[in-house]
Amino acid sequence: MSEQRACSGPGYATPADAMMAEREKVGYTIALYVGTGVEEPDYLATVDLDPESPTYSQVIHRLPMPNIGDELHHFGWNACSSCHGDESKERRFLIAGGQRSGRIHIIDTADKRAPKMHKVIEPEEILEKTNLSAPHTVHCLADGQVMISMLGDGKGEGPGGFLLLDGDFEIVGRWEMGMEGVDYNYDFWYQPRHNVMVSSEWASPNTYYGGFDLDDVAAGKYGSKIHFWDWDKHEVMKSIDLGDEGKIPLELRFQHNPDSMHGYVGAALSTTMWHLFKDDGGEWTAEKVIDVPPVEIEGWPMPVPGLMTDVLISMDDRFVYFANWLHGSLNQYDITDPAHPKLAGQVWIGGLLGKAPAVNGRTVHGGAQMIQLSLDGKRLYTTTSLFSSWDNQFYPEMATTGSCMFKINCDTENGGMSIDENFLVDFANEPAGPARAHEMRYPGGDTTSDIWE
């Protein structure tokens, strides 16, 4: 599949680009003030990732959003390896949505060390043209458009839908032909050679905005389904209910090989991972392959689940990584045999189990949560914030201490992980006060944004 990875357009980086894969110079992470008591806009933080730089592991630039209260969450590139056949495409613009405001920001990274705001799409325009709110996952498409999963309608209720932007970041409309059978929306990944897109479910924004209530799960207000879409027809062709063992399926990842029919989804509340694949009859199916048991903690009314949040697959399709935010573990599994993952490495950062209350001299309130992996698979970065109201509920100290970003060194030959003792980005002492760091992106490319046609 090497020919599929030889993107030559400006701004691209793939495993074929050995120089870029060797080291990222800078990285970007979302930093936000929602729920901290600081009345300042969220911002895009540029972090120095070059070990030879005097400002290594420091925030070297901050781009504030024009408004307060966005709750920036996930973001992505305008172009990726899905556009490998078009040399005019450039991985230059980041699309960052506000979960609470519904606003979409277009950020220009032409100056990689000092990004600038390019355009803001206001929620009123989005509502008028699509009746959608709460932007989440961003993926570029091969035709130059950008698709964004939207988790709510104009009133903050499910099931949401999928918004399309053209190459000039104008709203095209909605991608899907209908949302019949879909209760909620969250993440998505498409695998065009199999004519399939898969989407997952969280909950309506009005449900999760205020924090987590176990009664909402019993009332069916959180999802348990994954949906297989006909990529050409934009219609759901099959839905699978994962049941009690698959509550709140969140992050979806397929292997990067465009011919692969193997993917994974992590069910957060059940803390299980499911293998998605075509069976011998050509039907898409899901089988549970990893189960992390809950742990009894004194003072808790129920055993505490790991709460599996972020998931990613290494660019060579050998390892799957995932974080258990409440337990604090960050896990590496060998998926050489996709149906039988094998634990290859594990580290602990924060969490409620007390296994790593401090890391690199920093007391951690929160747990390993968002993760991003370098193209060569050797450097895994993690941040510790999930969502403002959930942070305040499970880790209330984070509102006043801020969150952290850590680097984990990964053994790509034998498996295994270790926390880099020389890297710590501490968001406790930001200029406006402690901030929460969330998703991360690299200007040279990252493993969760690249899909090949």
Q: What is the CATH number of the domain that holds 327?
A: 2.130.10.10
Would you call 326 helix, strand, or coil by DSSP? coil
Domain assignment of residue 451, yes or no: no
Domain assignment of residue 11, yes or no: yes
Domain assignment of residue 446, yes or no: no
55: containing domain: 2-441
pTM of the model: 0.94
How many domains in the chain?
1
* pLDDT by 10s per residue, the chain, length 453: 333 333 333 333 444 444 444 458 999 999 999 999 999 999 999 999 999 999 999 999 999 999 999 999 999 999 877 766 666 778 899 999 999 999 999 999 999 999 999 999 999 999 999 999 999 999 999 899 999 999 999 999 999 999 999 999 999 999 999 999 999 999 999 999 999 999 999 999 999 999 999 999 999 999 999 999 999 999 999 999 999 999 999 999 999 999 999 999 999 999 999 999 999 999 999 999 999 999 999 989 889 999 999 999 999 999 999 999 999 999 999 999 999 999 999 999 999 999 999 999 999 999 999 999 999 999 999 999 999 999 999 999 999 999 999 999 999 999 999 999 999 999 999 999 999 999 999 998 888 887 887
CB 223, CB 248: distance < 8 Å = yes
Domain assignment of residue 415, yes or no: yes
Print burial letters for 21-57: b (CB count within 10 Å at least 16), e (below 16).
beebebbbbbbbbbbbebebbbbbbbbbbeeeeeeeb
Domain assignment of residue 453, yes or no: no
Domain assignment of residue 447, yes or no: no
Domain assignment of residue 195, yes or no: yes
DSSP 87: T
Domain assignment of residue 435, yes or no: yes
Would you call 202 helix, strand, or coil by DSSP? coil
